[in-house]
Chain A
Amino acid sequence: MTTSFSHAPSLPIPGRRLPRISLGLLLVLPALTAITLLYALPLIRSLVTAFRDGSGAWTTEHVVRAFSLYGRDMLFSLGVVSASLALIAAMSIAIAGYLTLGATPWAVRALRWLYRWPLFIPFVVTGQLARSFLATNGMMNNVLVETGLMASSSAQSFLDWRGLVLTFAWKQIPFVTLLLAGAMAAVEQSHIEAARNAGAGRLRCLFQIVLPQAAPTLWVGLILSLVAMLSVLSVPMMLISGNPTMMTSMMAHRITYYGDYGIANALGLFSYALTAVTAWFYLRLTLRREATR
């Protein structure tokens, strides 16, 4: 998402300066144009649309209406996303921690092989899988009833916020784990050994030595997951019928049924704000870390 431009060192000879700058500009131009046309302009356009009424005058009406109509959905989205992130963080720390500190080689090998599979399954398919797994007469309840762990009368559908959280987590845990396990593997083995030598068990090593050093990567993984979850349409559409639901569903609804880009964009504004806040937190965190280094 970020691009860095490196400037060729320009000589302080006035006659040579101009051609060099224009050459550099020429080299950068294609990338710059692509970014401007494909990312910056649509983004600004959608922001502007959120604040314009039908006649093109400035207004905050869309935003106000978006909040009054979909305030509950926003809170719902926030809740689902937070719960998913908590679950993703807990599980990826557990898996990556075991991969890094596990004492049983065959178990580590098996886990390393298994955990990546959901990475290769698209969100749509994940939604479908979750649907047939979590429904009232889905696979999960069938198994529970058949093994006698649950009475068939108490079977209930998980196709609500719980289904969303589980599905998002199922899809995103491998991704975050992949990043986190890489970062944990990069922590020097001697740091872990020094801690164990000082008297720390494996669990303490994980939370006090390995995780603090790998935390920036965990944040990146969680922020990318947040963005993914806020932008997925298929999963909430497939799992949730009725209200409240995720904002993507509502945005799609607004556009397909009413052609109302104003409110859809005002809803989008909320997503931007949410990701921007997390990104800001992350940047602050890494900057502070760089400063103390």
Chain B
Amino acid sequence: MSTEALTLTDVTVDLGRQRILDGIRLDVAPGSFTCLLGPSGCGKTTLLRAIAGFTPLRGGEIRLGSRTLTHLPPEKRETAMVFQSYALWPHMSVAENLGYPLKLRGVARAERARKVAKTLERLELAGFEERAVTELSGGQRQRIALGRALIIDPPLLLLDEPLSNLDAAIRRSLRSELRRLQKSLGITTIMVTHDQEEALQMADQIVLMRSGKMVQVAAPQALYEQPADLGAARFLGVDNTVTRHAQDPVVASQAVTFGFRTRDARINEPVRPAALTRKGRVIECVYTGDGYHVSIDTVDAELFATSATSVAPGTFAVLQVPESALIPFGPDDRHLPPLDRHEDIA
């Protein structure tokens, strides 16, 4: 098994007359799991396709280990891609699908059959060799597609929203299964997703993208707690922003705006010291399973909070957010670094 590092230097892609990717720089450590996260149309698939060799670069360089991939055709790159639609070949059986990459590498028939059987066993699909791929369920197809990619021990695995066609329960179980498999193989993996929960759960490193640019590259926790700017924060579930008032806790001296997540904001609880508070009228109160989701109309904006008990719409309520849950942003909407906070507190 040869797992390798991937390095992207100023990768730029134009499609038609449009710039789709703009100066992407990224280092992916060998054996790590990187997620490309971002809203629809931000260029995640394009970046993955550029790495696999299906989209020509306008500029920049792609290196895998010691090799430069930039000018190689896709069949010479030895990357293994799993397509969003799985792209299993309908005229081949399961065994033929899995064995095809081996056949291309001149592996003898008996050896091929052995490897296919082993792979099927690992995917918990033992005995499926002669099935037609059209007779498989979505989850089974997904596994076969993954198996087909992994069967050649590739140095790099590329996954384009591999779980998005599956229903929620299978998705959750496949998530951890996929991650376990990746760890046990130690294969460098890049996965595209637009599901932040999936990215946070699975990745060692998340690349947040927006309209063809990289916004932030960070570990899941850092990304979640310190999104680079307001846009990134909104994408990561920071639904509420308030302009800072004089009596608000001093989280960062230059903070103009605070962001916070709905689940960190509470309604009608005894106000603690050093908490941000806002008063407003309740517009809506919806039961969500583990509490109520409350919308409040304050002078500035509409805010969302959670409550353990139901609140009648039309009544006035006090919303409070503990200081630790506030994410400070400067005048340019950029996140204020933690260093700034320490200075303030000192």
Contacts and interface: CB of A to CB of B under 8 A. Distances in A.
Interface of A: 188, 190-191, 193-201, 204, 208-209, 212-213, 292-293
B299 interface: no
B90 A204 contact: no
A193 B91 contact: no
A208 B87 CA distance: 14
B100 A195 contact: yes
B74 interface: yes
A196 B75 contact: yes
B134 A197 contact: no
B73 A196 contact: yes
Given A196-B73, A293-B134, A190 B104 contact: no
A193 B50 CA distance: 12
B85 A198 contact: no
Nearest to B79: A197
A191 B75 contact: no
Nearest to B132: A292
A191 B133 CA distance: 13
B52 interface: yes
B74 A196 contact: yes
26 contacts: A188-B85, A188-B87, A190-B85, A190-B87, A191-B87, A191-B89, A193-B87, A194-B87, A194-B88, A194-B89, A196-B53, A196-B54, A196-B73, A196-B75, A197-B79, A197-B80, A198-B75, A198-B101, A198-B104, A199-B75, A199-B76, A201-B73, A204-B104, A208-B100, A209-B89, A213-B91
Interface in B128-147: 132, 134
B275 to A, nearest CB: 52
Give 7 closest A-B pairs by Cβ, nearest first: A190-B87, A194-B87, A198-B101, A196-B74, A199-B104, A212-B91, A197-B81
B239 interface: no
A198 B100 contact: yes
A208 B96 CA distance: 11
A200 B104 contact: yes
B292 interface: no
A233 to B, nearest CB: 39
Contacts of A193: 52, 54, 74, 81, 83, 87
B78 interface: yes
Contacts of B132: 292-293
A195 B105 contact: no
Contacts of B44: none
A200 B104 CA distance: 7
A237 B74 CA distance: 52
B281 to A, nearest CB: 52
A235 B83 CA distance: 51
A213 B92 CA distance: 10
Interface of B: 52-54, 73-81, 83, 85, 87-91, 100-101, 104-105, 132, 134, 148, 152
Contact of B101 (A188, A199, A209, A213): A199
Nearest to B85: A190
A197 B54 CA distance: 9
B73 A198 contact: no
A147 B329 CA distance: 79
B83 A194 contact: yes
Contacts of A209: 89
Given A293-B132, A293-B134, A197 B90 contact: no
A42 B79 CA distance: 62
Contacts of A201: 73, 75
A262 to B, nearest CB: 47
Contacts of B134: 293
A201 B76 CA distance: 9
A191 B89 CA distance: 6
A195 B88 CA distance: 9
A194 B149 CA distance: 9
A204 B106 CA distance: 13
Contacts of B79: 197
A195 B97 CA distance: 10
Most chain B C-beta atoms within 10 Å of own C-beta, residue among A191, A198, A201, A213:
A198
Contacts of B52: 193, 197
A198 B78 CA distance: 7
B89 A199 contact: no
Contacts of A200: 75, 100, 104
A104 B134 CA distance: 34
A146 B181 CA distance: 70
A286 to B, nearest CB: 13
Contacts of A213: 89-91
Contact of A194 (B53, B81, B152): B81
A293 B73 CA distance: 33
Nearest to A204: B104
A208 B97 CA distance: 11
B88 to A, nearest CB: 8
A52 to B, nearest CB: 48
